[in-house]
Amino acid sequence: MDLDQSEARFASYIAGLGSVIGHAERTRPLRDYCMGLVLPGERKSVEPMAARTAPARTSAQHQSLLHFVANADWSDEAVLAKVREIVLPAIEKSGPIEAWIIDDTSFPKQGKHSVGVHHQYCGQLGKQANCQVAVSLSIANHAASLPVAYRLYLPEAWTKDRTRRKKAGVPKQIKFKTKLEIALEQIRWACEAGLPRGVGLMDAAYGRDSQLRAGMTALGVLYMVGIVPDILMWRPGTGPRRMDKPMNNTGRRDEPDLVSAKQVALALPKRAWRTVTWREGSAEQLSSRFARVRLRVGYPKLIPENLSPEWLLVEWPEGEAEPTKYWLSTLPEDISFEKLVDFAKLRWRIERDYQELKQEVGLGHYEGRGWRGFHHHATLCIAAYGFLIAEQATIPPSASRSAMPFQVPPIPDNYRPRGSALAA
């Protein structure tokens, strides 16, 4: 990798972001903050980034970066839009946008003062814990994904606590919304913003919600979503007998034909199951056993007048006692089996990218407590990650894709981060 060219592209990239960030004096801390996120280092919080980006004036740099991320009044939405504008062509070099991926990510936290922190399910730990949770929408193809919307989930206990809201700087217009409501809001925004259309992908935590699925259909967004096996549906070839009464998820007397997705899967004939191979990443091929069937899905409220059939896709790996994964999809009836499975598995993209955002760019390293700082840090992490995506697109396939795009400045010998054993 030519370091001079890479640094020139970084300068051009920052100039582009600087054009929407407001005052000209913000361009330097913008550049230094993004540089600190890209450079190697175990911790990407403000203090160690200050030492990396300005070794000769670490204290002043610390104050500058801290003010820029925690207090400066610039628009996250404008910066994310500019990142999208610059990085999208690099992503599309590998093919058009194929998916809109809804997901959330969590950040374990101690104490109760960091904005949005609450005892709730923490995906990073796989259990209930004290954490913050953010919901995001990413655009993706098989080569890359880029978050284009990012919003902290504010638990209801927070929305009602005026003291904590004020201390954390939560805007007055922020009201309680479930993660599902935030997700649909982001999808609606993406439609209104005219983003390149993709198939909506999400895991069962979101896909199980019929209102979210109905909302996507109303917006004209096709989906492939994970579901839980107890979601009710009609057996293939059947449908609702009455369209004017509400339905609940435990069945109902006037709809005796409703069965669970698991019951449908277990009743499928042996010939319905076949081994399908899909592409995971740029090279690795994976395979498993799947079945698919067209059917109509139950709704917990009034049944829609035009209840169209959907795909139920089920994965049942060899050697497992029962099916392991279920999806619903509004993709066309004539889609190939292989393409249907490929869309179901494309959601893995966000898992890997979030891992890189956290481990390589420091998405979870912000130590401030306020609403503005939380979102500013995430926006700058996405900006830094977007630059790395664009840089990857400039590297020939035969070259190393892990090369550092910049020269790494030395950290002063006498620098000791707070909390280290040598800091005293």
* Per-residue model confidence as pLDDT tens digits over 56-108: 999 999 999 999 999 999 999 999 999 999 999 999 999 999 999 999 999 99
**What is the C-alpha to C-alpha distance for residues 161 and 29, in angstroms, rounded to an integer?**
33
User: What does the mean pLDDT of the chain come to?
Assistant: 89
Q: What is the pLDDT of residues 241-278, one digit of tens each?
A: 655 555 554 444 445 578 999 999 999 999 999 999 99
148 neighbors 106 (Cβ within 8 angstroms): no
Residue 353: CB atoms within 10 A of its CB come to: 20
Quick one: pLDDT at residue 422?
35
**What is the C-alpha to C-alpha distance for residues 101 and 385, in angstroms, rounded to an integer?**
17
pTM of the model: 0.89
275 neighbors 296 (Cβ within 8 angstroms): no
For strands 127-140 and 145-152, give the pairing. antiparallel
Quick one: pLDDT at residue 73?
95
83 neighbors 383 (Cβ within 8 angstroms): yes
pLDDT at residue 220 is higher than 60:
yes
**What is the C-alpha to C-alpha distance for residues 358 and 360, in angstroms, rounded to an integer?**
6
Model confidence band, residue 423 (pLDDT cutoffs 50, 70, 90): very low
Q: What is the mean pLDDT of residues 202-218?
A: 95
Give the residue carrying structure tokens 């869309």: 343
374 neighbors 116 (Cβ within 8 angstroms): yes
**What 8-state DSSP symbol labels residue 28?**
H
174 neighbors 154 (Cβ within 8 angstroms): yes
Quick one: pLDDT at residue 346?
94
All residues at 6 or more sequence positions from 280 whose CB lies less than 8 Å from its CB, including other chains: 286, 345, 348
Burial 71-92 (b: 16+ CB within 10 A, else e): ebebebeebbebbbebbbebbb
- Start-to-end Cα distance in the chain: 40
58 neighbors 414 (Cβ within 8 angstroms): no
Q: What is the pLDDT of residues 301-315, one digit of tens each?
A: 655 556 889 999 999
Q: What is the pLDDT of residues 278-288, one digit of tens each?
A: 976 555 788 99
**What 8-state DSSP symbol labels residue 116?**
T
Quick one: pLDDT at residue 105?
95
Quick one: pLDDT at residue 281?
56
Q: What is the pLDDT of residues 15-36, one digit of tens each?
A: 999 999 988 899 999 999 999 9
pLDDT > 90 fraction of the chain, expressed in percent and rounded: 76
Q: What is the pLDDT of residues 151-161, one digit of tens each?
A: 999 999 999 99
Q: Which two tokens stand for residue 138?
A: 């990413």
Quick one: pLDDT at residue 4?
78
Q: What is the mean pLDDT of residues 330-359?
A: 94
Give the residue carrying structure tokens 């840090």: 377
Q: What is the mean pLDDT of residues 351-375?
A: 93
Q: What is residue 101's three-state secondary structure?
A: strand
Model confidence band, residue 408 (pLDDT cutoffs 50, 70, 90): low
328 neighbors 311 (Cβ within 8 angstroms): yes
Angle, in degrees to the nearest 10, between helices 3-18 and 371-392: 140
